[in-house]
Amino acid sequence: MKKLLLLNSCLAILCIMQGQSTAGITGVRDTAYSVVNEYNRQLNYFPFISLPVADTSLSLSVTNSIFCTTPERALALDLYLPRSPGQKKRPALIFIHGGGWRSGNKTMHQPLLRQLAARGYVCITPEYRLSTEALYPAAIYDIKSVIRWTREQARKYYIDPEKIAVAGHSAGGELAAMMGATNGNPAFEGNGCFPRQSSMVNAVIDLDGTLAFIHPESGEGDDSKKISAATHWFGYSKTERPDVWINAAPLSHAGAHCPPFYFINSGVDRMHAGREDFRKILTAHSIYSGVHTFPGSPHSFVFFQPWFDTIVNKMDRFLQKTFSPKNELSRITVAADGSGDFTSIQAAIRSVPDHNKKPVEIQVKKGIYYEKIFIDSLRPYITITGEDKFNTIITYNDHTGKISPAGETISTRTSWTLKIMAAHFTARNISIRNDAGFTAGQAVALESDGDYGRFINCRITGFQDVLLIDGGKGRQYFRDCYIEGTTDFIFGSATAWFENCVIHSRKNSHVTAASTPGENEFGYVFNRCRLTGDTSLHQVSLGRPWRPFAKVVYLNCEMGAHIKPEGWSTWNNNDNHKTTYYAEYKSKGPGANPEKRLDWTHQLTRKEARKYSISRVLHGWKPEQE
């Protein structure tokens, strides 16, 4: 099947090349698109813009190096190299100029590439055959040749062949995106130079490059006033051969083979055509993509200040994150006094890329951080580490019935101080609390819905509905934590293991209100935990059957005098208790009264207790070993 698809793809390319109109092939360079011309034109609309200086002191340069000879002519490239000495391998950045596949030249982005070379990248900017000399897909073959040349010359220029990024602006952005979208597709290799080398790229930066030519958001292909740039390049109008226009779109080829992508866009909406569709495909394959848009900027924004410096920084940051060693722990510091990378925990979280696959530790210095923090499902592998759990505090005071700043009525599910949707989250040495007050009603401090959630040596405090552990199939682990509340202060549908935790009650009510799905074998397991309460309490239940299949088990736990003799609650005498599973094993302390427990609850035998291991309860996950 794979060979058949490849054959069909190759035949499609050959079919495209037959019958193309050569009317646009003049053999004369089109010089209309240049930085100076564009600057003079845009000054009419943006009088504040300026041209950055190409500072030659920032980098070494090698110009007009021939990388491939085509039937039309020899193609050259320019290199901008870091000045710093040493033999360390560096990432390479191939930057492709724009100009509608018909104009422009390799000198257009010299200021940008010198800046990036100064930051440690080997920057390469090539020529490619324009539509005045050869039609699609010749330019694609040429850029593939540049990539292969880069690997061929990797030793000479100290390039890491596993860290090759390709970027481009406008038509160059389309070509860059096409490189990533056709990674490993032999149909687009052509008969270029250095065929023994790979043309795979490891990252793509698309600056306002077309992703889809035939798309509701696209403005390409209007030949009513003059022949469009794309029509010249393809040799067919959009109506003559829509299949060609579709075949040339990066969106048509996106898939699991793509590398990470970063999109830097102007304020011109049509230049974003297909971007979100493209990103959805990457997301479906767990491939990172990011976007930065400059609202109100022109399509040629890449040439000018005030956007130039931010573009350099955004490109550098994306490449650093993409090319950092696998499994390298990235650390971010948050400090309320301004001595860290951020003063806000939420701001630090936002700096983590979507679909992050590398561990990121956010180290939080002592202080009270009054903020409502959300970690969405696109940002896994985050650890938040406090400097001191008693003095590093995240707090907020939302509660059910309160009106939010947006005018919405807050519910239990929106009252959280910290909400985690991402998998592989860890919190250590930090306090998470809701300060809504004793009489405020439901007020969640921590809601953890993602899988593989770990909380170690944390304080989780509030009043009613403090800790919501949800997600049905999600697994949560709490070790050496202090959890305090009034009613149902541990609730939700997740499977959770509590190891050596202190569970403190502030009211004669219920500790747990599990809503375990019926198909789940386990719900909450408390192992070697200590249940304590305010001295005035004597009627606290271990749990009530809030949902019909609730499962809660206490193993080797010390029960304070606040736990009522019957231990559990039937809760309004409904029928939920008939399908719940509440059990204890070797409870001790003044609140342990096995002979007085409700008759539908269980006292486990030694054999029955053996099935409650961390690995089994959490379906193979061993969080204590991480």
Q: Which residues pair with 196 in a beta bridge?
A: none
383 CB neighbour count, 10 Å cutoff: 18
pLDDT score recorded for residue 13 = 57
370-625 fold: Pectate Lyase C-like (2.160.20)
Q: What is the tens place of the pLDDT at every residue in 344-369?
A: 999 899 888 888 888 899 999 999 99
* 621 conformational bin, left if phi > 0, alpha if psi -120 to 50, beta if neither: beta
Question: What is the greatest pairwise CA distance in the chain?
Answer: 98
**Nearest Cα residue to 504 out of 529, 524, 531:** 531
SS3 of residue 576 by DSSP: helix
pLDDT tier for residue 18 given thresholds of 50, 70 and 90:
low
- Look at residue 270 and tell me whether its pLDDT is greater than 80: yes
Structure tokens at 91: 């990432």
CATH number given to 56-323: 3.40.50.1820
Determine whether 488 is an active site residue.
yes
Contacts 24+ apart (CB under 8 A), 579-582: 579/518, 579/548, 579/549, 580/545, 580/548, 580/549, 580/550, 580/551, 581/523, 581/549, 581/550, 581/551, 581/552, 581/553, 582/542, 582/543, 582/545, 582/550, 582/551, 582/552, 582/553
Alpha helical stretches, state H, 138-274? 138-152, 171-181, 229-234, 242-247
Q: What is the tens place of the pLDDT at every residue in 283-301?
A: 888 888 999 999 999 999 9
What ranges do the domains of the chain cover? 56-323, 370-625
Question: If you count them, how many residues does the chain have?
Answer: 626
How distant, in Å, are the alpha carbons of 317, 333, 373 from that of 378? 18, 21, 15
SS3 of residue 137 by DSSP: coil
Q: What is the tens place of the pLDDT at every residue in 587-615?
A: 999 999 999 999 999 999 999 999 999 99
Q: What is the tens place of the pLDDT at every residue in 138-172?
A: 999 999 999 999 999 999 999 999 999 999 999 99
pLDDT score recorded for residue 341 = 80
φ, ψ (nearest 5 deg) of residue 389: -65, -20
Q: Output the CA angle 17-22-23, nearest 5 degrees.
A: 155
Q: How far is CA 484 from the centre of its chain?
A: 33
How distant, in Å, are the alpha carbons of 210, 242, 444, 467 from that of 175? 9, 19, 49, 50
pLDDT score recorded for residue 329 = 55
**Nearest Cα residue to 171 out of 104, 231, 247:** 104
Residue owning tokens 């970063």:
262
Q: What is the tens place of the pLDDT at every residue in 48-92?
A: 999 998 888 888 999 999 999 999 999 999 999 998 766 689 999
Structure tokens at 465: 């509905």
Q: Provide the pairing of β-strand 392-396 with 367-370.
A: parallel
Residue owning tokens 């400097």:
387
Tell whether omega for the bond before 405 is within 30 degrees of 0, i.e. cis: no
The active-site residue out of 488, 534, 575, 599 is 488
- Look at residue 10 and tell me whether its pLDDT is greater than 50: no
User: What is the spatial distance between Cα 194 and Cα 172, in angstroms, rounded to a whole number?
Assistant: 22
User: What is the spatial distance between Cα 424 and Cα 577, in angstroms, rounded to a whole number?
Assistant: 33
Spatial CB neighbours of 255, under 8 Å, sequence gap ≥ 6: 181, 281, 285
> Strands of 122-126's sheet, edge to edge?
59-69, 74-82, 122-126, 90-96, 159-169, 203-207, 261-265, 289-293
**DSSP structure class, residue 53:** P
- Look at residue 14 and tell me whether its pLDDT is greater than 70: no
Helices H / strands E in the chain, number of each: 12, 33
Spatial CB neighbours of 239, under 8 Å, sequence gap ≥ 6: none
The active-site residue out of 316, 465, 470, 599 is 465
pLDDT score recorded for residue 327 = 44
Q: What is the tens place of the pLDDT at every residue in 476-518?
A: 999 999 999 999 999 999 999 999 999 999 999 999 999 999 9
- The reported pTM is 0.56
φ, ψ (nearest 5 deg) of residue 349: -65, -40
- Look at residue 459 and tell me whether its pLDDT is greater than 50: yes
Please tell me which residue, 417 or 343, carries the higher pLDDT value: 417
- Look at residue 5 and tell me whether its pLDDT is greater than 50: no
Strands (E), 501-570: 502-505, 512-514, 524-527, 530-533, 551-555, 558-559
How distant, in Å, are the alpha carbons of 15, 21, 186 from that of 243? 10, 15, 19
Q: What is the tens place of the pLDDT at every residue in 393-436?
A: 999 999 999 998 888 999 999 999 999 999 999 999 999 999 99
The DSSP line for 368-407 is: EEE--EEE-TT--SEEEEES-TTTEEEEE---TTPBPTTS
Q: 366: exposed, middle or buried (C-beta count within 10 Å: 0-12, 13-18, 19+)? A: middle
SS3 of residue 123 by DSSP: strand
pLDDT score recorded for residue 596 = 96
User: What is the spatial distance between Cα 345 and Cα 349, in angstroms, rounded to a whole number?
Assistant: 6
Mean pLDDT of the chain: 92
